[in-house]
Amino acid sequence: MSRTAHIALHRAFDEARFGPARTLDLRTSMPTGAEAARRAEPWLRERQMARAGDVLVITGRGKGSPGGVAVVREAIEKLLRALKRKGVVGDVQEHTPGSFVVTLAPVRALFETVPRSRSNDSRVQPHDPKELLALGAPARASLRALAEQSLHILGAPRTAGLVHDEMVRQFAILSSAVAQDETDREGRLQFLIEAARDAFDDE
Rounded-to-integer distance, Cα 110 and Cα 174, Å: 10
Sequential pLDDT tens for the chain (203 residues): 555 655 556 677 777 788 889 999 998 887 889 999 999 999 999 899 888 889 999 998 866 665 566 899 999 999 999 999 888 999 999 998 889 999 999 887 876 665 555 444 343 344 566 778 888 899 999 999 999 988 888 788 888 988 988 898 888 888 888 877 788 888 888 888 888 888 777 65
Tell me 159's DSSP state.
-
Under CATH, which architecture does the 3-105 domain have?
A: 2-Layer Sandwich (3.30)
CATH 3.30.1370.110 placement within the chain: 3-105
| Entry pTM | 0.70
